[in-house]
Amino acid sequence: MTQAIRTLAFLCVFAGLGAGSARAQPVPRGFISIGGGYQSTTTTFDDSFTFTRDQETGTTRVTYPVDAGPVFDLGGGVRLWRGLGVGVAVSGIYSRDSTVTASSSVPHPFFFQHHREVSGDADGVRRDELSVHVQAQYALPGTRRVHLTLMGGPSFLEVNQQLVIDVNYTETYPYDTAEFAGVDTSTRKRSQTGFNVGADVRWMFTERLGVGGLVRFTRATVDLEAADSRTVSVDAGGMQAGVGVRIGF
């Protein structure tokens, strides 16, 4: 969050210097942005659950990394009164396959209270995110070519996450040890309301066409419904930066 605030402050100072170096120009009525970028935020979340095997209870613990990744972004806004306006944007993170770490305490088939420890890494656990951002926008007076729009408001974030539901293992007589053999997963989907704050800087080649840069921070905590009526809380969103085409109208 601190990085987002510093970046937005820099953009405000940059636009202010640009506006002060020349006579302020009328702000365009609206704009459309089409582009892509990168979400740099990384995090992890954990899950644990129990299972019954050989008339005893075992436990499984899983750690999920949430990696940085590319994003697409489509949005825009329209000015309603002076510099104030409204806008909407849709952003999404392309599917990311991560490696999770799973460990289980597995009951022994012959002896009570003689669990075996099984652990390993599993590849290809997928996560998708899709966000819709509703924004109040404020367009600062700019130069003939440079325009800055500040924005913020609620975000609606949807997470599709594969969760581990079972750890597979192999064992041979006398079953004193067991070896990790992968995991079984199931996809869970849930939406949650969060927030977004950001800025869009546009450099217009003509009145209608230009390029721009976008910085946005968005966040929500999503509770995924897992098996056995338990929930797994995951953070969605993060710090995003991107570039793309800007169309004025």
Report how far residue 99's alpha carbon sits from residue 118's, in angstroms, rounded to the nearest whole number: 17
pLDDT at 135: 97
Q: pLDDT of 93-123, one tens digit each? A: 777 889 999 999 999 999 999 999 999 999 9
Report how far residue 86's alpha carbon sits from residue 130's, in angstroms, rounded to the nearest whole number: 20
Domains of the chain, first to last: 2-248 (2.40.160.20)
Q: pLDDT of 190-206, one tens digit each? A: 999 999 999 999 999 98
pLDDT at 2: 54
Q: What is the DSSP letter of 175?
A: -
Three-point CA angle 49, 193, 195, nearest 5°: 120
Report how far residue 212's alpha carbon sits from residue 197's, in angstroms, rounded to the nearest whole number: 17
Of residues 148, 51, 143, 65, the one with CA closest to residue 100: 65
pLDDT at 143: 81
Q: Please tell me the pTM assigned to this model.
A: 0.82
- Residue in the structure block whose two tokens are 């996809």: 187
pLDDT at 35: 95
With a cut of 50, list the residues of the chain below it in pLDDT: 4-5, 11, 14-23
Which amino acid would we find at residue 236? A
Report how far residue 33's alpha carbon sits from residue 133's, in angstroms, rounded to the nearest whole number: 13
Return mean pLDDT, the chain. Answer: 89
